[in-house]
Amino acid sequence: MGEQLKYLLDESRIPRRWYNIQADLPKALPPVLHPGTMQPVGPADLAPLFPMELIMQEVSTEREIDIPEPVRDIFRLWRPTPMYRARALEKLLDTPARIFYKYEGVSPAGSHKPNTAIPQAFYNKEAGIKRLTTETGAGQWGSSLAFAGALMGIDVTVFQVRVSYDQKPYRRALMESYGARCIASPSMETEFGRAVLAKDPTHRGSLGIAISEAVEIAAQRDDTKYALGSVLNHVLLHQSIVGLEAMEQLQMADAWPDVVVGCTGGGSNFAGISFPFIGAGLRGGAKPRIVAVEPAACPSLTRGRYAYDFGDTGHMTPLTKMHTLGSTFTPPGFHAGGLRYHGMAPLVSHLKELGLIEAVAYNQVECFAAGIQFARCEGILPAPEANHAVKGAIEEALRCKREGRAETILFNLCGHGHFDMQAYTDYAAGKLTDQTYDESELAMALSGLPSVPEPA
Amino acid sequence: MGEQLKYLLDESRIPRRWYNIQADLPKALPPVLHPGTMQPVGPADLAPLFPMELIMQEVSTEREIDIPEPVRDIFRLWRPTPMYRARALEKLLDTPARIFYKYEGVSPAGSHKPNTAIPQAFYNKEAGIKRLTTETGAGQWGSSLAFAGALMGIDVTVFQVRVSYDQKPYRRALMESYGARCIASPSMETEFGRAVLAKDPTHRGSLGIAISEAVEIAAQRDDTKYALGSVLNHVLLHQSIVGLEAMEQLQMADAWPDVVVGCTGGGSNFAGISFPFIGAGLRGGAKPRIVAVEPAACPSLTRGRYAYDFGDTGHMTPLTKMHTLGSTFTPPGFHAGGLRYHGMAPLVSHLKELGLIEAVAYNQVECFAAGIQFARCEGILPAPEANHAVKGAIEEALRCKREGRAETILFNLCGHGHFDMQAYTDYAAGKLTDQTYDESELAMALSGLPSVPEPA
């Protein structure tokens, strides 16, 4: 039995401005390149896909960007989210460390994804857009955009990777309950999808293919734009609300982190919890260690190359410089579907290159064991993605124990596991194994990276 | 897009005392009878099953009962729960009514059930009990007691109705993730289970059979007691925390309900939201209408008989006077598993007889339609059980529109639907139909009610 300590902010304390780390970077982000000309893209190049407000956020170097009041109003449905001190976990680990976690699973979609889905839907609505297209794997992002579309009155079409569409019907049911249209990808609705199916009618799909399909539809129609749930600068900007709230909550606890831990797939929840703390350090404040935890089976930060690459398989997206396993790399089928992406957010990648963050990779079985340990003492069952952050935090707490250091650890519990019970069923049955990728496949994917002249 | 209005209490405002409606009843509850002697049971008769603190709460007529501080500490994990004003739903319905809802889905188990699971585990732990047995259908209660057991350090064994055990493995996975043991019922582990299986080795089980198995195990062992998730007075007492918080939150909104709506299975979430308001009315305050919404396929309040009956199929429980469809009545397999019980809480039944509450029954398809309507404007997808309360609230709001009355409606959104996506999948596919029971089966079940002499 553990004493629970919750740090709750009044809803008037929902941040009024997002934090933009681009204002504080010691070195600017490498430019995004047009795949045809290899020249930096301008706002006009992105206009077919995104409304101008989001494009401006993508390139802004203003430190603070106002959160529109209608967006804050909807945030009040679940924000500010609670921050807890994990006293029971501390006792179990017998660590001198203090462990805090921010819990984003209280959102109606069960994860942090609505933090960006709502503003993206808002800016598109303001720009007169009638429909958004997107892709989703397991469905966390697709269901969050469907939720946002329902509340904002904007149609949502989701291309879901076929293997997930077939095997995990429950996130699809959530998307459809919110009124979104969900299409198995590759589909017959796009040129790219038809081309893929012509080669292989039974293709199981991939996130890269689904992105290509969603982008193709959005690029064709004036009333339709595209939305992405991670990777891009404006998405990471929107997630900064997580870290900004956590800062205020830690002050309530009279604490400041020595270590900040988040799991990384595309990078958005990690950026959300960590960027405000990194920024405070860059502006002369205390500099906590920042630890990105990724799956060993899809290790873009620890095994990928920092290079220009495409975000999608159809090579319709611009080229961004990022840690990548190659756009043809197919991650093995581990359960943390939200972490199965070949690339990493350019901003997160850049910070890694600048030595401002660390990265570590863990296997899925040890991450599930950590999640179960957490659930049994703290009471919340984490999503498989979040189990990576739990594992990272536990390892830091055990290091503190070995070193006899009473450090303060903060991690982001980015979602609950209620949609992921098949994974826990498999874990309990001993059927869960560590997945590995083929080294030669990784080498081949990396050798296929586009060749880009170094910018001057 | 609807303005969201959330009413949040600081955690210091978690109630310090439960409200016991037995203190304010104009007429005392009929006694619980021993099935052998037909005489009122005393505390000693219940001692094999429950710790004395809970037995004392069961029979107490004190108005306020202290909530132990360690229980309040754990409540802080998710309480106080938010109350919202459903502005977007009001707009959609174009009603002059104000609609408020209390949301219990933020608990780690996703429903209101931990409100009683935690104190039940606590009092058992205090009494030196090592293990709790219980039954569960779809699994809301079983997973909540498993959660409580994990946090309190007490073993939990759950007998789950076999058809749910086989068809709905995800709640079982949640119970097992919390460390509970989950057994398909009927099982070979009890005398009663073996007898059922001897007659029918493929028996699909029922809640009544699972109760009998759980009670049998608890009665045999000194270190083991039994826990029930609804129906009993002490369970309803623990749920009063919902209504007590809602009262304070309505005062923040400068509002008082004209109508309070809750769904009813065993009666616990309905009692939780409504009893404090009924009590205030009985003590001379305003008297809101109180509306219990039940499934048309299991209509204990609207079609059942008010009579003494058993709580279980094996007839091991005492006899309580309640609205019942007969302990041999098997409800059809509709999706709101938490509402599939032949009886109704004695306290709820008593209030119905006293004319202090109303009851109405709706079919499942119209309830799912209401739930979808709610999700698309308010953002939260309700559990199938909660859809009944949503439907009830919508009907009241539409009545207000017809009558041109600006009433205030409060309902209990007792859980989220994230574990119930198969039901929504079926609904979207048009496969969901209204279930009906066989009138002759109901007549037979009612004719088999035990014959009990009217008490003097």
Contacts of B76 in chain A (CB under 8 A): 4-6
Within 13 A of B67's CA, how many CA atoms are on the CB side? 25
Tell me: do B241 and B192 sit in the same domain: no
**Contact flag B421-A84 (C-beta cutoff 8 Å):** no
Q: Which residues are CB-contacts of A369 (< 8 A; sequence separation ≥ 6)?
A: none
**Contact flag A375-B428 (C-beta cutoff 8 Å):** no
B22 conformational bin, left if phi > 0, alpha if psi -120 to 50, beta if neither: alpha
In angstroms, rounded to a whole number, what is the distance separating the alpha carbons of residues B371 and A310?
A: 41
Contacts of B150 in chain A (CB under 8 A): 375-377, 379
In a 3-state reduction of DSSP, which class is residue A242? helix
Nearest by CB: B419 against A1, A418, A424:
A418
Going by pLDDT thresholds of 50, 70 and 90, the confidence category of residue B154 is very high
Residue B80 confidence (pLDDT): 94
Decide if A91 touches B, using CB distance below 8 A: no
Tell me: do B69 and B174 sit in the same domain: no
Nearest in space to B394 (alpha carbons), one of B372, B414, B415, B379: B372
Nearest chain A alpha carbon to B9: A10
Amino acid in position A455:
P
Nearest chain B alpha carbon to A74: B4
Nearest by CB: B379 against A108, A169, A424:
A108
Residue A2 confidence (pLDDT): 42
In angstroms, rounded to a whole number, what is the distance separating the alpha carbons of residues A41 and A38?
A: 9
Name residues 316-355 of chain B within 8 A of A (Cβ).
Answer: none
B390 phi and psi angles, rounded to 5 deg: -60, -45
In angstroms, rounded to a whole number, what is the distance separating the alpha carbons of residues A443 and A303?
A: 11
In a 3-state reduction of DSSP, which class is residue A184? strand
* CA of residue B307 relative to chain centroid, distance: 20
Nearest by CB: B147 against A3, A10, A379:
A379
Tell me: do B101 and B134 sit in the same domain: no
B410 falls within a domain: yes
pLDDT at B434 over 50: yes
CB A383 within 8 A of CB A105: yes
pLDDT digits (tens, 9 = 90+) for A393-403: 999 999 999 99
**Contact flag B8-A6 (C-beta cutoff 8 Å):** no
Tell me: do B314 and B405 sit in the same domain: yes
DSSP 8-state secondary structure symbol assigned to residue A168: -
Tell me: do B84 and B224 sit in the same domain: no
A253 falls within a domain: yes
**Contact flag A377-B422 (C-beta cutoff 8 Å):** no
**Contact flag B74-A173 (C-beta cutoff 8 Å):** no
Within 13 A of A446's CA, how many CA atoms are on the CB side? 17
Decide if A52 touches B, using CB distance below 8 A: no
Which residues sit opposite A379 in a β-bridge?
A: none
Residue B340 confidence (pLDDT): 86
Name residues 370-409 of chain A within 8 A of B (Cβ).
Answer: 372, 375-381
Contacts of A379 in chain B (CB under 8 A): 74, 77, 108, 147, 150-151
In angstroms, rounded to a whole number, what is the distance separating the alpha carbons of residues A68 and A39?
A: 33
Name residues 138-157 of chain B within 8 A of A (Cβ).
Answer: 147, 150-153
Decide if A92 touches B, using CB distance below 8 A: no
| Min distance A370 CA to chain B CA atoms (Å) | 11
Angle, helices B140-152 vs A364-378, to 10°: value is 80
Contacts of A178 in chain B (CB under 8 A): 375-376, 381
Could you tell me whether strands B259-263 and A131-136 are parallel, antiparallel, or unpaired per DSSP bridges? unpaired
Residue that is last in its domain, among A228, A254, A280: A228
Nearest by CB: A4 against B74, B125, B418:
B74
In angstroms, rounded to a whole number, what is the distance separating the alpha carbons of residues A342 and A303?
A: 11
Per-residue pLDDT, averaged over A88-94, amounts to 97
| Min distance A416 CA to chain B CA atoms (Å) | 9
Per-residue pLDDT, averaged over B156-178, amounts to 92
CB A432 within 8 A of CB A365: yes
pLDDT at B2 over 80: no
> B339-353 burial, b for 16+ CB within 10 Å, e for fewer?
bbbbbbbbbbbbbbe
A73 falls within a domain: yes
Q: Looking at residue A441, which CATH number applies to its domain?
A: 3.40.50.1100
Decide if A369 touches B, using CB distance below 8 A: no
| Min distance B447 CA to chain A CA atoms (Å) | 42
Name residues 13-32 of chain A within 8 A of B (Cβ).
Answer: none
Nearest in space to A291 (alpha carbons), one of A167, A188, A399: A399
Q: What percent of chain B has pLDDT over 70?
A: 98
And the tokens for B82? 């938010």
**Contact flag B376-A179 (C-beta cutoff 8 Å):** yes
Element (H, E) at B335: none
pLDDT digits (tens, 9 = 90+) for B94-112: 999 999 999 999 999 999 9
In angstroms, rounded to a whole number, what is the distance separating the alpha carbons of residues A180 and A177?
A: 7
**Contact flag B418-A421 (C-beta cutoff 8 Å):** no
Residue A1 confidence (pLDDT): 39
Q: Is the dihedral of CA B244, B249, B254, B256 positive or negative?
A: negative
Please give the residue that has the higher pLDDT: either A156 or B420.
Answer: A156
CA geometry: angle A175, A178, A182, nearest 5 deg: 35
* CA of residue A386 relative to chain centroid, distance: 11
B57 falls within a domain: no
Per-residue pLDDT, averaged over A178-187, amounts to 97
Name residues 255-294 of chain B within 8 A of A (Cβ).
Answer: none
pLDDT digits (tens, 9 = 90+) for B281-301: 999 999 999 999 999 999 999
**Contact flag B77-A379 (C-beta cutoff 8 Å):** yes
Residue A285: CB atoms within 10 Å: 12
Average confidence score pLDDT of chain B: 94
Tell me: do B183 and B248 sit in the same domain: no
Tell me: do B317 and B417 sit in the same domain: yes
- Unique residue bearing structure tokens 């498989």: A384
Q: What percent of chain A has pLDDT over 90?
A: 86
Could you tell me whether strands B64-66 and B17-19 are parallel, antiparallel, or unpaired per DSSP bridges? antiparallel
pLDDT digits (tens, 9 = 90+) for A140-151: 999 999 999 999
Gyration radius (Cα) of chain B, Å: 21
Nearest by CB: B375 against A178, A418, A428:
A178
pLDDT at B455 over 70: no
pLDDT at A3 over 70: no
Q: Which segment of A256-265, B266-275, B342-351, B418-427 scores lowest on mean pLDDT?
A: B418-427
A292 phi and psi angles, rounded to 5 deg: -90, 125
Peptide bond into A80 cis (omega under 30): yes
pLDDT digits (tens, 9 = 90+) for A286-344: 999 999 999 999 999 999 999 999 998 889 899 999 999 999 888 887 888 888 889 99
Tell me: do B100 and B199 sit in the same domain: no
B38 falls within a domain: no
**Contact flag A4-B421 (C-beta cutoff 8 Å):** no
Tell me: do A270 and A311 sit in the same domain: yes
Name residues 172-191 of chain B within 8 A of A (Cβ).
Answer: 172-174, 176-179
Contacts of B378 in chain A (CB under 8 A): 77
pLDDT at B331 over 90: no
Q: Is the dihedral of CA B328, B329, B333, B336 positive or negative?
A: negative
Decide if B68 touches A, using CB distance below 8 A: no
Nearest by CB: A73 against B4, B150, B169:
B4
**Contact flag A125-B418 (C-beta cutoff 8 Å):** no
Going by pLDDT thresholds of 50, 70 and 90, the confidence category of residue A10 is confident
Nearest in space to A259 (alpha carbons), one of A234, A277, A243: A277
CB A132 within 8 A of CB A120: yes
Contacts of A170 in chain B (CB under 8 A): 421-422, 425
For the entire predicted model, the pTM comes to: 0.94
In a 3-state reduction of DSSP, which class is residue B367? helix
CA distances from B153 to B146, B353, B382 (A): 10, 41, 31
Per-residue pLDDT, averaged over B172-181, amounts to 96
Residue A435 confidence (pLDDT): 86
**Contact flag A150-B376 (C-beta cutoff 8 Å):** yes
DSSP 8-state secondary structure symbol assigned to residue B314: S
B335 falls within a domain: yes
Number of structural domains (chain A) is 2
pLDDT digits (tens, 9 = 90+) for B111-149: 999 999 999 999 999 999 999 999 998 899 999 999 999
Tell me: do B238 and B224 sit in the same domain: no
Average confidence score pLDDT of chain A: 94
Nearest chain A alpha carbon to B377: A151
Nearest by CB: B169 against A2, A147, A425:
A425
pLDDT digits (tens, 9 = 90+) for B249-276: 999 999 999 999 999 999 999 999 999 9
Per-residue pLDDT, averaged over B175-198, amounts to 97
Contacts of B171 in chain A (CB under 8 A): 421
Residue B421 confidence (pLDDT): 92
And the tokens for B359? 């009851």
B41 falls within a domain: no
**Contact flag B428-A74 (C-beta cutoff 8 Å):** no
ipTM of the prediction: 0.92
**Contact flag A77-B177 (C-beta cutoff 8 Å):** no
* CA of residue A441 relative to chain centroid, distance: 25
Q: Which residues are CB-contacts of B402 (< 8 A; sequence separation ≥ 6)?
A: none
- Unique residue bearing structure tokens 């501080």: B69
* CA of residue A270 relative to chain centroid, distance: 7
Tell me: do A221 and A301 sit in the same domain: no
And the tokens for B398? 């539409």
Decide if B198 touches A, using CB distance below 8 A: no
Going by pLDDT thresholds of 50, 70 and 90, the confidence category of residue B333 is confident
Residue that is last in its domain, among A186, A213, A228: A228
Nearest by CB: B4 against A77, A88, A173:
A77
Residue B1 confidence (pLDDT): 39
B32 falls within a domain: no
Residue that is last in its domain, among A208, A228, A248: A228
| Min distance B282 CA to chain A CA atoms (Å) | 34
CA distances from B30 to A167, B307, B308, B346, B350 (A): 52, 10, 10, 8, 8
Domain span at residue B248? 5-16+65-110+233-447
pLDDT digits (tens, 9 = 90+) for A13-58: 999 999 999 999 999 999 999 988 999 999 999 999 999 999 999 9
Tell me: do B71 and B150 sit in the same domain: no
Nearest chain B alpha carbon to A417: B174
DSSP 8-state secondary structure symbol assigned to residue B58: H
CB B355 within 8 A of CB B331: no
* CA of residue B314 relative to chain centroid, distance: 22
Which residues sit opposite A182 in a β-bridge?
A: A158
pLDDT at B4 over 80: no
Peptide bond into A384 cis (omega under 30): no
